[in-house]
Amino acid sequence: MNDMFEKLDCSPQDRLIDRSNRHLNYLRVSITDRCNLNCKYCLPFSCHSKQSHHDILRYEELLHLIRIFRDLGISKIRITGGEPLVRKDIIPFLSQLHEINGIDDLAMTTNGLLLQDHLVKIKSAGIRRLNISLDSLNPENYHRITGHDVFQKVWEGILAAEKMGFYPIKINVVALRGINDHELIDMARLSLSHPFHIRFIEYMPIGDSTLQLEKPLFTPEILEQISTLGELYPVERGKMDGPARRFRFKNAKGEIGFISPISRHFCRTCNRLRLTAGGFLRTCLLSDHQTDLKTPLRSGFSDQQVADVILSAIRQKPTSHDLNSKQAGQIASPMSAIGG
Ligand code: SAM
């Protein structure tokens, strides 16, 4: 399949190394901006102007771009959204993605609502690693946060994924003061009895979400709370590790991780790029700057020319985000449009 694509004329220095000498090998691909939940911290207040089908990259366009990224040095792909499982015909797309040589790591982030219906097919399409968002273990609170009374279905999907041997299953918990902070210990406790990696994520105030928090909740405070469950032992970092600082309780089946984009940002080691469903490349999650790849692709640019557009965007990747110095809402794009 790869023979269909012209070989890119790429010398090693053209590869995805940015001006801060960061080696970018990880691409997050949002395949839709639509979602079947309305998480109050994620969706925009002004409600979602969904993109038309024409504006969204077709699967063959996504695969084409991903091959170009692969030729430039991307080896790790995460499929996200909106909610990726709401997009029609995702399974054949995942299978084709899995067949692309050079992509060593293929994962998906989902809210889990449609997981049970898709698990067998997702597994046979080559996905082994899942991130599932779960901000509450209490059905009523889950309903309040997501706008949908579907906790049980999501939870059953998570247990079914565990039973089918997906590993690791990372449970993403965005820590929100006054909303789920009373549940963080229960979430952490899950790691004792299940092989889940519970990842506490600091809320990033971007887009015009409906959320009004009186005070942010940062990792040191979360860590202090859940340390009441027992001593946390650091887990050695793996080669493919992301920004999470990882720990484990004694004899626990799973792990605890902290992702602290605000209190301890990890820009210096950021290896990520993001492709939005509308075909824009974002080199920093916390910057509104984006580069159009869809127009060059649709106007018949060669792979080399598209690669040149990508390389020139990479050169502009911000050294560091400045969210700490900005007011909430100054990053206009909602997370639901970028993919997290
Ligand atoms: N629909 C999928 C899901 O719910 O996992 C994938 C898309 S969602 C945008 C990806 C991740 O971004 C989720 O884990 C979500 O909790 C996280 N997220 C969304 N808005 C956020 C925010 N403002 N701050 C921190 N994390 C956020």
pLDDT reported for residue 325: 58
Looking from the CA of residue 204, the nearest atom of ligand 1 is 24
Judge whether 6 lies within some domain.
no
pLDDT reported for residue 47: 54
Higher-confidence residue of 128 and 132: namely 132
Judge whether 43 lies within some domain.
yes
Judge whether 53 lies within some domain.
yes
Instruction: Specify the number of domains making up the chain.
Output: 1
Quick: pLDDT tens for 162-217.
Answer: 999 999 999 999 999 999 999 999 999 999 999 999 999 999 987 766 677 778 89
201: CA distance to ligand 1 center in Å?
9
303: CA distance to ligand 1 center in Å?
31
Judge whether 99 lies within some domain.
yes
Judge whether 152 lies within some domain.
yes
pLDDT reported for residue 28: 97
Neighbour-count burial of 294, counting CB atoms closer than 10 A to its CB (0-12 exposed, 13-18 middle, 19+ buried): buried
Q: What is the domain-level CATH number for residue 191?
A: 3.20.20.70
Judge whether 235 lies within some domain.
yes
Judge whether 295 lies within some domain.
yes
Ligand 1 site-directed mutation target among 29, 32, 133, 209, most atoms within 8 Å of CB: 133
* 187: nearest Cα among 225, 159, 154: 225
* Cis amide linkage into residue 168, ω under 30° from 0: yes
Supply the range of the domain harboring residue 168.
12-338
pLDDT reported for residue 208: 66
Q: Which residues line ligand 1 (CB under 6 A)?
A: 35, 41-42, 80-81, 83, 109-111, 133, 172, 174, 201, 203-204, 206, 335-336, 339-340
Judge whether 263 lies within some domain.
yes
Show the tokens assigned to 4.
Answer: 């269909």
The pTM (predicted TM-score) of the whole model is: 0.92
162: CA distance to ligand 1 center in Å?
21
User: Which band of pLDDT confidence, cut at 50, 70 and 90, is reported for residue 281?
Assistant: very high
